[in-house]
Amino acid sequence: MNNDLVIDVRGLNKHFDERHVVRDVSLQVERGEIYGFLGPNGSGKTTSIRMICGLLTPDSGEGTCLGYDIIQQSREIRRHVGYMTQRFSMWEDLTIRENLDFVACMYEMPDRKKRIDKTLEQLGLTERAKQLAGTLSGGWKQRMALAACMLHEPELLLLDEPTAGVDPKARRDFWEEIHQLAAQGISVLVSTHYMDEAERCHKLAYIFNGKLLAKGSAEEVIASRHISTFAVYGKNLAVLSQSLKGKPGVDQTIAFGDALHVSGENEEKLKVALAGIGSGYKVQQIHTSLEDVFIHLMENGSGHNEKESM
């Protein structure tokens, strides 16, 4: 066993009735690492997270979380993991302090007041401790939910789309807090839809239709796809986009501001396709972005077999 791995799971599968929602997922997360878990809605992110932290039993597969077996020792895992769900799950008719006190009681924490005071101060909630949760903005609700996850001083945080519906400043502040926690040795597995958040993670995994298609750092994921991208500038880009679709070498076209990004895995065929668009356009090869790669993975579905960087 690698003691540096806080998550080490292999071959996880889960069915709900006839739906195979997680397919042979294997994932390794190191101590102090922020690991981004990406994919469209319904791709299997939440189900995978729940299996990892012992809330769901996989149909097959094995592994450990914080050294505990995910099937046989799920209760121990739950006591050492902080899990923040997609939806706000605190009591809106209680104050921030009352919510945290209730959570502390559930964990049977000694010195509850001292632990709550410390957490309130750590997350900048002390001045709002008496405010009803229902009156908080999305950003402050998010911060309170994180405080509830941190009360029992977990070694691992599992955050399921924690910044959905939160304004950009609150998202930025939240990620600053996450990086501070990681610097203290706390590991984080976070699912997100935002590309700017994905790029702030140490490593990433992209899941689609229950199957992991790519793993590694942002740079490794981009390099492993071997996608070339060109920016095209000019008039009537929407019409151009439609005319390019389906041509040899053109895998996708995406509008970005005043440019059209055209990408493909066969650079030579892609260049030929772009050479035929006429002289009224400016064509410039650009760095393939993480968003380009993930849209390509989503539209092509299957990815590259076993082309995963770790």
Helix axes 138-150, 96-106, angle to 10 degrees: 30
Token pair for residue 263? 């990408």
Q: Is residue 296 part of a domain?
A: no
The verdict on 216 and 244 lying in the same domain is no
Q: Which of 128-142, 228-242, 259-273, 295-309 has the lowest mean pLDDT?
A: 295-309
The verdict on 216 and 233 lying in the same domain is no
pLDDT of res. 113: 92
CA separation for the pair 262, 274 (Å, rounded): 9
Per the listing, tokens 């959570």 go with 103
Sign of the Cα torsion 284, 286, 291, 292 reads positive
CA separation for the pair 114, 78 (Å, rounded): 22
- Under the banding of pLDDT at 50, 70 and 90, the label for residue 307 is very low
Expressed as residue numbers, the domain containing 252 is: 228-287
Nearest CA to 237 among 214, 269, 261, 264? Answer: 261
Phi, psi angles (nearest 5°) of residue 116: -65, -45
The verdict on 154 and 25 lying in the same domain is yes
Whether 190 and 35 have beta carbons less than 8 Å apart is answered as yes
Kindly report, residue by residue over 100-151, the tens digit of the pLDDT.
999 999 888 888 999 999 999 988 899 999 999 999 988 888 889 889 998 9
Share the mean pLDDT of the chain. Answer: 89
The verdict on 204 and 273 lying in the same domain is no
CA separation for the pair 196, 224 (Å, rounded): 20
Whether 212 and 294 have beta carbons less than 8 Å apart is answered as no
Instruction: Assign residue 166 the CATH number of its domain.
Output: 3.40.50.300
Kindly report, residue by residue over 184-241, the tens digit of the pLDDT.
999 999 998 888 889 999 999 999 999 999 999 999 999 998 999 999 999 999 999 9
Q: Is residue 303 part of a domain?
A: no
- pLDDT at position 309 over 60: no
CA separation for the pair 19, 162 (Å, rounded): 26
75-109 CB burial, b ≥16 within 10 A, e <16: eebbebbbbbbeebebeeeebbbbbbbebbeeeeb
Q: Is the pTM of this model over 0.75?
A: yes
pLDDT of res. 310: 35
Q: How many domains does the chain have?
A: 2
Whether 172 and 187 have beta carbons less than 8 Å apart is answered as no
The verdict on 17 and 83 lying in the same domain is yes
pLDDT of res. 2: 54
The verdict on 91 and 203 lying in the same domain is yes
Q: Is residue 300 part of a domain?
A: no
The verdict on 179 and 52 lying in the same domain is yes
Q: Is 161 left (phi over 0), alpha (psi -120 to 50) or beta?
A: left
The verdict on 79 and 143 lying in the same domain is yes
